[in-house]
Amino acid sequence: MSPEHIIEQAKRAFAIAKKDIRIYYAKGPVVIFGLFMPLFLFLAFAAGNRGLSMPFLISGLLAMTVFFTATAVSPVIQPWEAQARTLERLIACPITMKTLIAGDMFASVLFGIGIAIVPLGIGLILGIIPIHPLLLIAGIILASICFSSLGLLLSTPATNVPSNIMMLSSLLKFPLIFISGVFIPVEQLPFVGQVLAVCSPLTYFTDIARYCIMGTNTFPLPVNFAALTVFSVLFTALAVRLHARTVSRRI
């Protein structure tokens, strides 16, 4: 593949991302599932505070916000496109499935990073200043990539009904919140919970957030970043392959 072709496909991916931002990311799901849902869960646990410190809760709020935002719309973009009969036009364009997936992912990543400012701002108002801000920024970027690729993987079933994908997405995302150390430290979970936590990408970003805000962590920092990288590559590769198989049954 020539450099000119790569540059041209990158331009088309950015055009798709711009379209997604303009059409989808100003809608309710991003605000409700990306911001309000984590905030309400945070307030519920903060109100029934069981000795959890505010930095602990803020790091959990940050992890939930990035997770819910990056996976808010990415699972339903292609079902929406198929339902509106616009997916056919995209497929007919001179773009590859990798380009289409990259465009959708880039839009999700931007929103995951952008809305992460909200919990960080809440923390600053409460006097909670990150100990390692540069590492935290790197973690937010990598986690946004990982979670958006997970959202695209969830959208691979061959359906043009967004509610079906939303139901599948919710069935996976909400259990992950409670096994990933967001509200209960991983080391305090029962053995089965600890095993499941290792399989959750949210666990590793939560651990990064705790380290950068509180200075404590369950796993070594290189392990956290490596795990998020591996999950990102795996989810993206599976999403591209499965979307290529199912797209013909959507249009």
Q: What is the DSSP string of the chain?
A: --HHHHHHHHHHHHHHHHHHHHHTTTSHHHHIIIIIHHHHHHHHHHHT-SS--HHHHHHHHHHHHHHHHHTTSTTTHHHHHHHTT-HHHHHHSS--HHHHHHHHHHHHHHHHHHHTHHHHHHHHHTT---SSHHHHHHHHHHHHHHHHHHHHHHT-SS-S-HHHHHHHHHHHHHHHHHHTTSSS-GGGS-HHHHHHHHT-HHHHHHHHHHHHHHS--SS-HHHHHHHHHHHHHHHHHHHHHHHHHHGGGT-
Among candidate residues 140, 162, 143, 138, the one with its CA nearest the CA of residue 229 = 143
- Longest pairwise C-alpha distance within the chain: 58
CB distance 77 to 90 below 8 Å: no
When the pLDDT of each residue in the chain is averaged and rounded to a whole number, the result is 84
Whole-angstrom distance, CA of residue 247 vs CA of residue 32: 28
> In which band, very low, low, confident or very high, does the pLDDT at 35 lie, cut at 50, 70 and 90?
low
> In which band, very low, low, confident or very high, does the pLDDT at 82 lie, cut at 50, 70 and 90?
confident
Residue 52 has pLDDT above 70, yes or no: yes
pLDDT of residue 50: 62
CB distance 206 to 63 below 8 Å: yes
The pair of structure tokens assigned to 201 is 């990408």
The pair of structure tokens assigned to 161 is 């009904």
Mean pLDDT value of segment 50-70: 86
**Which are the contacts of 148, defined by CB distance < 8 A and separation ≥ 6?**
70, 71, 74, 104, 105, 108, 109, 112
Provide the whole-model pTM: 0.89
> In which band, very low, low, confident or very high, does the pLDDT at 28 lie, cut at 50, 70 and 90?
low
pLDDT of residue 251: 65
87-141 pLDDT, tens digit per residue, is 767 776 777 788 888 888 898 898 889 888 888 998 999 899 999 999 999 999 9
CB distance 55 to 213 below 8 Å: yes
Domain chopping of the chain, boundaries: 3-246
Whole-angstrom distance, CA of residue 88 vs CA of residue 82: 7
How far out from the chain centre does Cα 67 lie?
A: 4
CB distance 132 to 59 below 8 Å: no
